[in-house]
Amino acid sequence: MRLFLLTLFLAPSFAKFWIEPLVFDKSRIFLLHEFMNKTECKHLINIAKDNLKRSTVVDGKGGGVVNSIRTSSGTFIRRRHDAIVEGIEERLSMLTLTPISHQEDIQILRYEPGQHYLPHNVREFNSFVLGCVTDFLWTGLVFNGC
């Protein structure tokens, strides 16, 4: 409910933006409709497309290793990369009640047909993980010619 009420305070340019609560195995999952416009989606893709590398998984020692569990390619966009990225981060900050300084860099993933991220167990690195929020932004656009 808290997230729904926050939409009232968003900038008028995001008047189409709305939240659809989804229920999946008792998790709190929300579909954010019209969260990013087409220009923002294309901008993220353009930043990422030349930097994509085979995705890795955590190796148990804090490093990353290529594994058949995850077959995508990906990259990260540094926090406050530019004004467009910062605008997206600010909206996420308002929705999640998490300051941008506490957000991770935006991770961009590309899945080709047949690629996957298989179900797996995630180990907690410490017992102080409380109220973790994960945001998935789906551009719905294709990497043309990449």
- Give this prediction's pTM: 0.72
Please state the domain extents for the chain: 2-110
7 versus 59: the higher-pLDDT residue is: 59
Angle between helices 38-48 and 83-96 (to 10 degrees): 110
Q: pLDDT per residue over 69-105, tens digit each?
A: 999 999 999 999 999 999 999 988 888 888 999 888 9
Token pair belonging to 80: 């406050």
Nearest Cα to 144, choosing from 46, 5, 68?
46
Q: Tell me how far apart the alpha carbons of residues 91 and 35 are, in angstroms, rounded to a whole number.
A: 8
DSSP state of 128: T
End-to-end CA distance of the chain: 40
- For residue 95, what pLDDT is reported? 80
At 133, the pLDDT band (50, 70, 90 cuts) reads low
